[in-house]
Structure 1
Amino acid sequence: MEPLDLTALAAEHLAEARAASNGRSSVKLVGDHSALLRENLIALKAGAALQDHESPGEATLLVLEGQIEFHAGDETVMLDAGHLIEIPPTRHGLTALTDAVVILAVAKA
């Protein structure tokens, strides 16, 4: 068991996101699609978005760096580094207002 260096991973994937045509880069941290718990680090350059999609199960979103706009249904909230939000079980999406790195944790039923 070896700890993950989230600071280094965030920097690496933010550099990849800045170079990517879609402005995003991600890596699996924990679990896979067959696991009950999954965690992914997602880096987005400013202006990049994760389009609206259904919630795959209970989930949280933690902002490691930058600022994002998260929306679900009719609600929108700005999240800064250090903010954590429980993702509601409705269609949702987000946009990076600055270069940003988030950790998405999903627990499937």
Structure 2
Amino acid sequence: MTRVSLAALARDLLALARAADTGRIATTVHGGCDRSLRQTLMALRQGEHIHEHPGEVTVHVLHGRLRLVAGRDMWEGQPGDLLVMPERRHRMEAVQDCAFLFTTAR
């Protein structure tokens, strides 16, 4: 069994994202290319965004606020929210510095 403190990891990644030129950072906490489930902890500095392609994805917001944009649709997430991504191209924008657990399945 592996145990990971998502709260501690989110704090560490937020500090790194704030200092990074790109304003973002990510690390895989479970799974990978050889597994059907992959969980990645991501941190974005306020104003930064990432684009994602369609697929089965959830985002669990751990810190801050983020906005999910898919076409004309838009949703905001805050700590504790679980967002189920639409199965079309979408973008996640950091409304505030934020950290979230990004889960994908193949």
Whole-angstrom CA distance in 2 between matches of 1:72 and 1:105: 18
* Structure 2 unaligned spans of 5+: none
Give me the identity figure in percent.
34
Runs of 4+ residues over 3 Å off in structure 1: none
Q: Which residue of 2 aligns with 1:94?
A: 92
In the alignment of these two chains, the number of paired residues is 106
State the Cα distance separating 1:82 from its structure 2 match. Answer: 0.8
Question: Structure 1 length as normaliser, TM-score?
Answer: 0.92
Q: Please report the RMSD computed on the Cα atoms of aligned residues, expressed in angstroms.
A: 1.0
1:32 aligns with 2:38: no
State the Cα distance separating 1:30 from its structure 2 match. Answer: 0.8
* Structure 1 unaligned spans of 5+: none
Whole-angstrom CA distance in 1 between matches of 2:6 and 2:64: 14
Determine helix, strand or coil for the equivalent of 1:10: helix
State the Cα distance separating 1:2 from its structure 2 match. Answer: 3.0
Whole-angstrom CA distance in 2 between matches of 1:35 and 1:96: 28
Q: Which residue of 2 aligns with 1:78?
A: 76
Give a deviation string over 1:18-72, Cα, whole Å, max 9, x none: 0101100111011002210000000011111103x312x3111110000011111
Whole-angstrom CA distance in 2 between matches of 1:96 and 1:6: 19
Q: Which residue of 1 aligns with 2:16?
A: 16
Whole-angstrom CA distance in 2 between matches of 1:33 and 1:76: 30
Determine helix, strand or coil for the equivalent of 1:61: strand
State the Cα distance separating 1:85 from its structure 2 match. Answer: 1.1
Give a deviation string over 1:57-109, Cα, whole Å, max 9, x none: 3111110000011111220011111111111110001110111001110011x
Whole-angstrom CA distance in 1 between matches of 2:67 and 2:5: 26
Q: Which residue of 2 aligns with 1:3?
A: 3
